[in-house]
Structure 1
Amino acid sequence: GIDFNKARVHTTESLKSKAFVTFIAMIVRNELFQKVEELRKKNRKAYTVQKMISELENIKENMH
């Protein structure tokens, strides 16, 4: 889901930036999965990446 298979950049600086953002995204994704590991063991389909991100967006919207 991070989409780093093809760089699609024109400069070395852009490639470095995309690699950095991809690295940070992987860290965040891994942290998220570690936090919900016990829940995913019980019901893997209910805790997909997209569903977890959607839930975080709902929480964010309700905070404002």
Structure 2
Amino acid sequence: MVARRRHAGYLIRIHDPKGPVLRDFKGVPSYDSQEKWVLDGEYEPFCAPVPTTVGAVVEGP
């Protein structure tokens, strides 16, 4: 079991490493990577964290 504090509440996940869901998991389907998809980039760290809201769970009505 994993318990985490999340925003104003808690998140609890039950994890059974021998359970049928994990035992029968065959992986996530994906495409083979292709060299033409590779892009050059540069990592520039921020001095302080910058919050970013993505299209996932967002607090509010």
Q: Which has the higher helix share?
A: 1
TM-score norm. by structure 2 comes to 0.22
Which has more radius of gyration?
2
Higher relative contact order (CA 8 A, sep 6+): 1
